[in-house]
Every structure is written in C-alpha cells, then in structure tokens.
Structure 1
Amino acid sequence: MSERRLITGPTFEEMLHPNLIDPGIRAKAHEAKTSDPLDSINLYNISWRDMNNQIQYVVLPPELTGVDTPIAVLTSVHFPSGSHKVGATYSVLIEKELFGDVDPWKHTLVWPSTGNYGIGGAYVAGRMGCNSLVILPEEMSQERFDKIEAYGAQVIKTPGCESNVKEIYDKTHELRESDPDIRIMNQFEEMGNYRFHYYVTGNTIVDLAKELAAQGIGSGKVSAFTSAMGSAGTIAAGDRIKQEWPDHKIVGLEPIQCPTLALNGYGGHDIQGIGDKHVTWIHHVKNTDAMMCIDDIETKLALQIFADEGGRQALVEDFGIDPALVDIFAHRFGISSICNIFGAIKAVKHYGFGPDDLVVTIATDGMDRYPSVMEAMRQTYGVVDRTEAIARVRSLFHGLRTDWVFDGTADNRERWHNLKYYTWVEQQGKTVDELEAQRCDEWWEAEQTRVGEIDAKLREYRQSQQG
C-alpha cells in the first residue's frame, strides 16, 4: 500500500457511541454536516445518534398501526448521504484499506447495488479519495442516479429492476476481467456490511429498548426485529439482539412479487432496496425465525398517504396523530421503510404480542429518494385526498393480513441455507466447505469478534500518523 496518508473516520465503537470521538473532530463534523456535506470530516457523522447522543427514532402511534404493541422505527435520513447504508460502505472500505486490500491511489472501486448501497459507496469512496463505479439497474428511481453522480462516481446501468442482481453480477465479472486494478465492493458478501449492522445497529437497538422502558414503553427487551433483505446487512442487527434476549424473533421480509426464501420464488418488484432473487452470503439464515412477504404496490400506496397533503391532513384530523409526528413520517420514510413497518405490524399479529412487547424496525431512507415514484403513483392512482387516505389507512395498516408467513422451522432454515449454493458456489467462486462452515454459530461469532480487531487496527494507524 502507498505510504501516503489514508483518509479515515470512526471506529465501530465510535459509530455506536459518537461521544467517544475527539470533541474537536466531532464539533467540526457537526458543523460540516450543513456547511460542507462533501467534506471528509462528515465520516464522523456516521451514527444512529445525533450530536446530543440521542438515538434517532420514532414510535408509531396505534392510531396508525392498528395494534397496541409499540413499534419503534430507527430513522436514517440524518446519516451522510441520507441512508444508513453509508455505514456499511464505510465499514467495508476502511477494513479493506487498513488490511491492504484496497489502495485508494491505484484501485477503482465497483459498488454493485440496487440503490442506497451504491449511493453510500459513492459518498464514502469520494470522501476517502477513491474513484468509484456504481452498478445499478436502469429502472431504479431517477433520484438514485442523480445522487450517485453528485457524489462524484460514475454509473453503469444494467437491464431490469430491483430484483435483477444477476445482471449486476455479470457486469462485475466483466469489469474485473477487464482491469486488474478493479476492486469489487460486493455488499452481498462483504462481512464489513454484516459487522456494521451486527455491532452498531444491533447494539443501538439494545440501548433503545432500555431507553424506551425508562419512558414506560415496552418492558426493556425487544420481542422482534423486522427487516427486509437487500444485501441482508441490516438484518444482522437481529443476531446481536438475539444474543441479548434468546427468545427474540428475527423476521425477514420479502416482496410477494419475488419470494425467494419464502417459496424459492423470483420476479420483478418495486420495493426499491430489497428482494434480489438470491440468498446473500452475509445472511445468517439459520438464525432467522420467520420470513414474511409484503406486497410492493401496497407499500407505495401507503407511502403516498404521507407524500400527499390530503393524506397528511387525514392522519391529523381523522386519526388524531400529532402533526409534528406526521411531518416526521413524511420526511423520514421511504418505500422499504413502509415494507419494514408492515412487517412489524404483521409480526405483532402473527406472534400475538401485547402492549408490554416491543418490535423494532428500520426506516432505511426517506422521501427524498422517491418524488418521481410518488408522481407516477399520482398519475396512475390519483392524488390522495382525505377520503382516500382514511380508506388506505384502514385497509393497508389496520387491516394488514397475516398471510404469506413462513416460520423458521428446522426444514425451512435448512432450505434457506441450501439456496446459497446456487449463487455462491456455482457462480461466485465460494467452496462447499465454506458454505458448510456457515451452518455453525462459531463461524458467525468469529466474524463478529473481528470488530475489535478492526478497531484496534484503525487506532494503531491513527497513532502512527500523529506528529
């Protein structure tokens, strides 16, 4: 690796507890968030917590969910680039730089993505001095392409929609073979993605449960964590939560239109960010308690309630929801956020949770990713007025069905694991022995403990650069 100075950011521990960051650096990062959002100091803003060390979340009112179990939603629009995926891309890249797998002055980074990971990769790589290519299906929202290019990366569009990951892989193979200085930052197999969510997201949720209990919300534990899988990075938080509470339920979500784990299914869908027609390498499926499927058009119909004035008016005037909370929903929720919320409601109903339980999920991005999608919805379904909003809340939220639920029986978990073979052994060069090793908790625990090793490596590098 070149002797030149790497541009670095926080350790895992500092992303979890940003109050541990040097106060001077943290103050500069906080100021740059608005004054100079493209400055590399913003890497120190990668955290679920704000400048006051407060976790960014909302608790959904029962008037919206139709259930009496509290559902807490971590929100990620405050992250650099507007999504928590920036944490995963930073964790992948800093690890590779520290251990010499990536030379930022030599290598071109390729970020295979269906959206937020590519945006996060473009943002992080640009701040860390790397050249980047982002591979993205051509049918993703225009806002995604605009953000990637604004962060200084090039975009390669591949055929298809959200679930067309095979076409992305084909392009990465082509690029790798064409240039020895290409480095593929594959979110679907890079364990840095897993580690960010296992350690930072998972421990944040453990802390949140205790914080909410102090407010009289829940009993101090998390009964279930729901997350749709794109790369299956976010759902790794469930592995940490289950270590805290062994009876905790990890619930994965897929589109009905592409039920890969649920039914060995395939197909196109429009819950952007999830459901990619394969089981990712970093998904600990043997630890998953259920797969539930969500309809893609219902997620967009629900999001439009928050996007249109008539919908927001109905939430306030007809359902009695605090206007300030409605404004937060309208800003901090995107399509996959609604999918995750639907999954949380479905989990409450499926498991029979009550008011002392707590379900946690994630809002992976915000409305800023979807103005073009919402405009297309208006063209097709009309603008949402109060009457339509009332009907949609009652049918989509309150009336959410408990169909399309597949429990994590021993047989199902075995099948989910075996599905990895077809992508990772036949296509991506993994061995059967590597696949077999993932059956054991020890394999995953070894990857989890590398958090400490990587943090120590980063601290050692920082110390070497002092003076």
Structure 2
Amino acid sequence: MSHQEVIDRTIKRCHDKQIILPTIAQQIDPTLIPQQIRDELIKIDPQEVNSLNLFRITWHNDPKGGFRAVPNYVVVPPELSGCKSNVLVMLGKYFPTGAHKVGATYVMLSDMLTKGTFDPEKQQGMFPSTGNFCRGGAFNACLLGCQNVAVLPENMSEERFAWLRRHNAEIHATPGCESNVKEVFDKAKQLCAERGDKIVNFNQFELLQNYTWHYNCTGRALEKVFLDFAQGKKRLFGSFFTTGSAGSIAAADYLKFANPNKKSHANVKEVQLHTPVNCCGEAVQCPTIFSNGYGAHQIEGIGDKHIPWIFNTHSQDMVACIDDAVAMRVLRLFNEPFGKALIQKKLGWTAEQVEALNGMGISGVANMIGCIKMAKYYDGDANDVFVTVATDSCAMYMSRLVELEHQFGKYTELQAELDWECLKNVKTDYMRELSYAGRKQVHHLKYFTWVEQQGKTVEDLDAQFYERGYWEKLANYVYELDQRIVEFNTKAGVLKAKYNIQ
C-alpha cells in the first residue's frame, strides 16, 4: 500500500473520530489556537483521553485552565541554592501525563501520520523509554486510537507502570534501571523482528523530530521564562540538561543561537552581551560522557551508557556529573513535611512557595543541582541566571520516598537540616569543559551504539558533526511539518464541520 493510501485512510479515521492535529506553531504559541477550541478546553480535564487535549501539549498550560503567556517555572534563589545566581526551573508537570515527553511523542506521530509512514489502523506504535516517553506515547496513542507498546526498564518507579496499565499499554519491562538503555533497544529490536511491518518503533533516542520539537518548543519557552524573570536587568549565563534522550538539550541549541540576552538588553547599548554556556549532565555513578564510565544510578529517566543519536555535541561547552545520592536527599528535603517546614522557616516562604518545589521530579532536581554547580564553577553573581527544566514532578516518585524511608528511616528535623546543608554546599567536582576535540570525542562515542548496533552508517555519523547546517535544517523542519499538518486537517474537515474554520 502506498503512503498516500495510508494518509487518505488516516484522514478518514481522524474525520470519523473528530481529531484535529495541532501545529507545532500552536504548541509554541497557544494564542494561535482557535478561540472556539480554547473555550472548549476549559471544560476538559487535562489528563482526560480527549483528542482536544492534543492542544494542551505546550509549556503554556495554566493550572487553573486555559493558557499562560509565560510558562510555569520555579525560581531557586541564592538563599536556597547556596550560589549567588538565580536558577529558573521550567515545569513539565502541567503537560498531559504530567511530563513534557508527550511533546516528543506527538511530533513523531504527527510527522509519520501526515507522511503515511505510520498506519494507526494496522500498526502498533512502540515507545522505548526509561519512563515518561512511553507514557506520552501511550497517551497520544489513546487519543489517536492507536495500539501502543511500552518498553522500559523493570526498576523504574511503580507510578510509571501503574499509569501505563491504566492506559492499556502493552508493557515490556527490561532488565535493569535507567542506565540500561541497551536492553531497551534490544527488546525493541526483537519486537520489530517478530512483528515486522505490524509495529513501528518510535525511538526517542534516534528520531530527529525529538530535536525539532524541543529546539522550537522548549527552547522558546525557556526564553520567555528568562525574559519574564530578567526584566532586562539580568543576563542568561547558561543552561544545564541531563542527557536522557538528549531531546531537551536541543533547547540549549536554541538559547545559544537566539541568545535571549540580546532581547533582554535591547535598549542597553553598552552592555557586553554574553553567549549562553551549555552544560550537559549525567550521574556520577554512570559518567559516560565525563570519563567513558558506566554503572547504575537513581536519577530516573536520564539514561546513560550511550550517546543519543539526536545529541548535537557541537553545541556543548562542558559536562558535569550529579551524585544521585544528593539528588535523592534534595528530593526528600523538598517533599517531606520536616523538609518543607525547614525551608519555610529559613526563607520565610509561604506554604504555596514551598509546595511549588514539588514540581521537580528526580531528574528535575538533578538539573537544578547542575545549574548550581555551573553557577559556582563560573563564579556567577547576582546578575547571572541559569535555566533548566523539570521533565516531571515528584508525583511520579512518591513510591521512591516510601522506599527511601524504608532504607534510611523516617525523615526527621535533623535529617532536614543535614539535607539543607547538603544542598547549600554542592561542589564543583566532576565537571569538565569541552574543547572542540572534546566535543568530537563525545560525538565519536555514538559509533558503538548507532553504527555497530543500530544500523547507522559512518556517513550518517560524520554528517552530524562535519556537515554545515545539519542541525539548523532539523530546527527548521518544523515549518515543513506544520504545512503538512494544516493540509491534513483541511482534508479531514473537522475544523470546518465542527468550528466553521477553513
């Protein structure tokens, strides 16, 4: 069957199910969403399996309904972090599924649906992941009426598995934890071999649409967050992202290219503009980039022991490692009653301000710690700002808090004081600046996963590092995709029939 025949059948499917595909432009700027749809969304729960919730795949969701001009974020001030600079953490908890990975799954699905390379009637969508990506895939698959297959390590949090079961995912739990990505790849390859053309592998570590979405959506959202906070008086010094699939790291490419400092200081002619510094992160217990290391760790969702295909090593200025024990201690500090009471007492915060720290899951806490390490390493001052994201919130890790209590005992006032000091005294150990040769060395590590194991060619590998404009082309791919989405929606006719929109 030709791609066009698949497209035609999918268009009919969307017509019958009353499904409208949002453009990426609408996810970047929800004011572009037709008012009729925005009005209807107010009545729909963000987590409901309703196709209109595809329009909620954006950083701009308002917790009270509707959309915000500036994405949700938490300010981690010097009096909490122990560094002199402010750290801004943009929150993914308000996406459908409670994690931003739903955006990466959507861009892949919409791209394949509009090209006819995925048939939702006859093919299963498989989403290999260390947790949130397969949840996003399951959610979008339910909305689109597709069968979904989740492949993730068996030691991920129980909340992930419970969520997948509720959304009718076919679950394959692979050996190990978040650093056992190869085992996930091996299982995905096995399922593809067994099921042939009945299954499509949406591999977030490989499919370059992941880069496209985060460059445009996460990058621009972080820019808005910085400009909202800075008010033209501060400079964006840098960003930190743990590697994971390397999707979010694409946002760092946008920040470096767009350089929000130019907009922040647009009316100040004499200021020396600073190009943001990009730092990629991983666990001390599995320092693949830092020292070709390996191991298991507890920072769920960031993945390790390989370099993702979609990782643009060209744009990275340094690498830093986070001790997972520190991340877990800070997670408890932010979420246990004695920890929250201590923060409220020491900082004079309201209960609501303290509760906002719950918006950071384990990897979000690790990202925040990475920003603190950067601020200390570069001697950041009060005028400097460091930005990052929290993929999800602590809601996905409440079972981990129970496990930590079983392991270390009930959380006490004394432990809260110790963890407060732990956060305030984060060190600049396990940090290394990357030269051109260093960035090339990291890129070359892709060879062992992607050429030897996953079928890429050396020519493909070399193009990513040496071909001028390779990553810029991916960033601009959004315009081609949006054009196809508009044409697809026009042919499906739902906008016209339901909302009288041409």
Does TM, normalized by the shorter one, top 0.5?
yes
The equivalent of 1:408 in structure 2 is 434
Counterpart contact for 1:108–1:183, Cα < 8 Å: yes
Contact 1:8-1:94 at 8 Å conserved across structures: no
Matched, 1:48 2:74: no
Instruction: Confirm or deny: 8 A CA contact 2:192 2:201 kept in the other structure.
Output: yes
CA contact (8 A) 1:308 1:383 kept: no
1:37 aligns with 2:37: no
Aligned 8 A contact 2:153 2:184 in 1: yes
| Secondary structure of 2:173 counterpart | strand
Which is further off, 257-266 or 314-323? 314-323
The 5 Å alignment of 1:188-207 reads 188-207=205-224
Q: Percent identity, aligned pairs only?
A: 36
CA contact under 8 A between 1:230 and 1:273: conserved in structure 2?
A: yes
* CA displacement at 1:265 relative to structure 2: 0.9
Local SS of the residue matching 1:68: coil
- On the 8 A contact 1:138/1:158 being kept in 2, the answer is yes
Alignment of 1:203-242 (within 5 A): 203-214=220-231, 218-219=233-234, 221-242=235-256
Aligned to 1:64: 80
Aligned to 1:113: 129
Letter matched to residue 209 of structure 1: F
Aligned residues: 461
CA distance in 1, matches of 2:149, 2:434: 37
After TM superposition, give the deviation of residue 213 of structure 1 in Å: 2.3
The 1-side partners of 2:278 and 2:212 are apart by 17
Matches within 5 A, 1:3-402: 3=9, 4-6=12-14, 7-33=19-45, 37-50=48-61, 51-179=67-195, 180-214=197-231, 218-219=233-234, 221-245=235-259, 247-330=275-358, 332-395=359-422, 397-402=423-428
The one-letter amino acid of 1:266's match is Y
Instruction: Report the TM-score, using the length of structure 1 for normalisation.
Output: 0.96
Paired residue for 2:265?
none
1:462 Cα deviation from its structure 2 partner: 1.3
Question: What secondary structure sits across from 1:127 in the alignment?
Answer: helix
Aligned-pair CA distance for 1:195: 0.9
Distance 1:441 1:368 in 2: 42
Q: Render the CA deviation track for 1:259-304: whole Å, top value 9, x for unaligned.
A: 1111111111110001321000000012111110001121111101
Amino acid at match of 1:207: K
Alpha-carbon offset, residue 441 of structure 1: 4.3
> Could you say what secondary structure the match of 2:244 adopts?
coil
Structure 1 residues 63 and 72: alpha-carbon distance in aligned structure 2, compared to 1, 3 A threshold: same
Partners of 1:451 and 1:369 lie apart in 2 by 31
The alignment partner of 1:105 has SS state of: coil
Query: How far apart are the structure 1 equivalents of 2:139 and 2:207?
Result: 18
Separation (CA, whole Å) in 1 of partners of 2:56 and 2:41: 6
1:420 paired residue number: 446
Q: Secondary structure at the match of 2:85?
A: coil
| Aligned counterparts of 1:425 and 1:223: Cα–Cα separation in 2 | 36
Deviations 1:101-132 (A, max 9, x none): 10111111111000111111111111111101
Per-residue deviation, residues 415-447 of structure 1 (Å, max 9, x unmatched): 101000001111111110110000134111111
| Cα 1:311/1:200, change in 2 over 3 Å | same
Q: Given that residues 222 and 359 in structure 1 are in contact (C-alpha distance below 8 angstroms), is that contact kept between their aligned partners in structure 2? A: yes
Aligned-partner residue type, residue 369 of structure 2: F
Given that 1:76 and 1:84 are in contact with CA atoms closer than 8 Å, whether structure 2 keeps it comes out as: yes
Contact 1:258 1:275 in 2 (8 A): no
Note the alpha carbon deviations across 1:136-175, whole angstroms, 9 max, x for none.
Answer: 1111111100111112211101111111111111111111
Quick one: distance in 2 between partners of 1:69 and 1:175? Answer: 48
Q: Distance in 2 between matches of 1:435 and 1:222?
A: 32
The root-mean-square deviation of aligned C-alpha atoms, in Å, is: 1.4
Deviations 1:161-216 (CA, angstroms, capped at 9, x unpaired): 111111111111111111121100000011111111100000111222222222x7
Residue 389 of structure 1 deviates from its aligned partner by: 1.0
- In structure 1, the residue matched to 2:491 is 464
Structure 2 Cα separation of the partners of residues 449 and 162 of structure 1: 31
Maintained 8 Å contact 2:181/2:303:
no
Corresponding residue SS for 2:236: coil
Question: Is residue 154–residue 173 contact of structure 2 (8 Å, CA) maintained in 1?
Answer: yes
**1:362-404, CA deviations, whole angstroms, 9 ceiling, x for partnerless residues?**
1111111111110011111122222221221112x21001010
2:150 and 2:171 in contact (8 A); partners too: yes
User: Does the CA-based 8 Å contact 1:30-1:45 persist in structure 2?
Assistant: no
Residue pair 1:260, 1:275 contacting (<8 A) in 2 also: no
Distance in 1 separating the partners of 2:99 and 2:406: 27
Offset at residue 83 of structure 1 (A): 0.3
Preserved contact between residue 89 and residue 388 of structure 2 (Cα < 8 Å): yes
Q: Which stretch of structure 1 is more off in the superposition, 2-11 or 456-465?
A: 2-11
Q: Aligned to 1:222, what secondary structure does the other structure show? A: strand
What SS does structure 2 have at the residue aligned with 1:438? helix
* Structure 1 runs not aligned, ≥5 long: none
Q: Is the 8 A contact 2:281 2:321 kept in 1?
A: yes
Can you list the C-alpha shifts for 1:301-359, whole angstroms capped at 9, x where unaligned? 110112211111111113433321101112x1111111000000001011111111111
TM-score by length of structure 2 reads 0.89
